[in-house]
Structure 1
Amino acid sequence: MVLGGKLIGGASVLRAMRFVIIGAGRVGLRTARVLRDEGHEVTLIERDEGMIRRARSQEFTVVDGDGSKEDVLETAGIADADALGALTGDLNVNFTACMIANHHGCRTIMRIDEAYRENIYRTYADEVDEVIYPERLGAISAKNALLGGTIRAIADIAPHLQVVEHTITDEAPTNGYTVNELQLPAHATVLAFGKSGQELELPGDDLSLEVGDRLVVLADYDVLSTIRQLLIGESEREASANAGSDATSSTGGVN
């Protein structure tokens, strides 16, 4: 199982997460695919028959219905979801769904098109956890908003490569080591480093890793979970659970 990050009560927790995404269009389906590829559970809500067929053909669970209706959201599992992504092109549907999800204690991410005026944006932004502009950043921004926490995908470089920014935590086994002492998997490399509250720069070998520091890493999807274990940290139980599914991945550590 690939583990995701979420900020809960100020602490970084690594575990598989559950998401409800409204809208199986380009942004919604792409976001669902990225989340599923990282081991998370995703349920889509869609009412267009063609989009429903396309999503189901890719083996997604899809609830046929209006995402602004509470009974439809409950069918999709909103009561147990970690976050809701309202990613349709309909602002009213997105906002209504977020208000219902708020009632269920979900983190709420709402899509808004750039055509809307600033005052309208501010009205909605105050009521949800995060607003995204998919025209600018697409599925990457939606995924980051849904996950929250200490892991931030920056870009998909190729079908199997991603640039990811990680923030060092208290639990990280690499905490206190220098960049030179990192032993990342073979298919990963450090691109940039930033001290907490400072801009990113090219990494120096003698820079010490401390809580709050950021590392930008280019890595193959197959080794992302290993990198998370090194830079974010996870419990022994989670590491054991992860070992079975990542048996074919390269291993890493610190010298």
Structure 2
Amino acid sequence: MRFVIIGAGRVGLRTARVLRDEDHEVTMVERDEPTRRRAREQGFTVVDGDGSREDVLEAAGIADADALGALTGDLNVNFTACMIGNHHGCRTVMRIDEAYREGIYRKYADQVDEVIYPERLGAIGAKNALLGGTIRAIADVAPHLQVVELTLTADAPVNGYTISELHLPADATVLAFGKGDGPLEIPTEDLSLEADDRLVVLADFDVLSEVRQLLVGETAERATANAGTGTSSAATELLEGDTDGGDN
């Protein structure tokens, strides 16, 4: 497949490397000379210019591209590039770096194929590393939904239940089950839950604390504090200082 990546900074360059490693063709667009030079030194074709201009995107081959990734630190550039990509029939992916508010997400989500928020993904990883233990956030799938992997403890109220007997809150569902260190699989109803088993759960942020109480055995107060609204504010603040500037 052929991809056009707007922004050769940290996010764009890492994305381009992953695509190239999977034998896809990648052309990058970057207006900052040192950043452009760095990408070229890594073997990428880089077009000099503003990714929000149609003539620049045409020079990058947008007419023949399968998808466009607008991955700069400039929301306006990213959105304009995606609109041009839509005009040329590309799949469009837009990066946002502003505070992760549902209003911002909804404003753009309907006009592009995918909205990504790299700093939030990074904060999820930071939260996992900081907390350790029995709970691991995997991904945010919407502003109010998160996929988490939880390891059952001996204190979990559902210890000894079968999957069919497990009743999670209405806005939560089990996606996968792993026995101890075994592989994750689609759960069957007669599987028995024991300490050290792993459950992958999709849950609304509003019910994460209840899920934690059931599967990990946390107290209501601790579960509420740990669930928060997804990524902890402390982890987010750590990552906000590590954002890209301009097209980086």
TM-score scaled to structure 2, two decimals? 0.51
CA distance in 2 between counterparts of 1:78 and 1:200 reads 39
CA distance in 2 between counterparts of 1:21 and 1:104 reads 15
- What amino acid is aligned across from residue 201 of structure 1 in structure 2? F
* 2:50 is aligned with 1:66: yes
User: Deviations for 1:113-164, whole angstroms, at most 9, x for unmatched residues?
Assistant: 14264323211111000100011336xxxxxxxxxxxxxxx89xxxxxxxxx
| Residue aligned with 2:175, SS | coil
> Hey, which bits of structure 1, 4+ residues long, moved more than 6 A?
none
Instruction: Please name the residue that 1:31 is paired with.
Output: 15
CA distance in 2 between counterparts of 1:91 and 1:117 reads 14
Instruction: Please name the residue that 2:80 is paired with.
Output: 96
CA distance in 1 between counterparts of 2:35 and 2:47 reads 11
Asked if the contact 1:108/1:130 (under 8 Å) is kept, the reply is: yes
Instruction: Please name the residue that 2:30 is paired with.
Output: 46
Instruction: Please name the residue that 1:227 is paired with.
Output: none
> Could you say if the C-alpha distance between residues 114 and 58 of structure 1 is closer, same or farther in structure 2, counting changes exceeding 3 Å?
same
- What amino acid is aligned across from residue 178 of structure 2 in structure 1? L
CA distance in 2 between counterparts of 1:84 and 1:92 reads 15
CA distance in 1 between counterparts of 2:50 and 2:100 reads 23
The within-5 A match list for 1:1-255 is 17-115=1-99, 117-137=101-121, 199-202=175-178
Asked if the contact 1:101/1:107 (under 8 Å) is kept, the reply is: yes
> Could you say if the C-alpha distance between residues 117 and 94 of structure 1 is closer, same or farther in structure 2, counting changes exceeding 3 Å?
same
CA distance in 1 between counterparts of 2:42 and 2:11 reads 15
Asked if the contact 1:21/1:32 (under 8 Å) is kept, the reply is: yes
Asked if the contact 1:91/1:112 (under 8 Å) is kept, the reply is: yes
- What amino acid is aligned across from residue 92 of structure 1 in structure 2? N
* Gaps in structure 2 of 5+ consecutive residues: 123-137, 140-172, 187-248
1:43 positional shift: 0.4
Q: Which has the higher strand share?
A: 1
* Gaps in structure 1 of 5+ consecutive residues: 1-16, 139-153, 156-196, 209-255
CA distance in 2 between counterparts of 1:121 and 1:103 reads 21
Bigger Cα Rg: 2
| Residue aligned with 1:97, SS | helix
Task: Give the root-mean-square deviation of aligned CA atoms.
Answer: 2.6
Instruction: Please name the residue that 2:234 is paired with.
Output: none
CA distance in 1 between counterparts of 2:110 and 2:68 reads 16
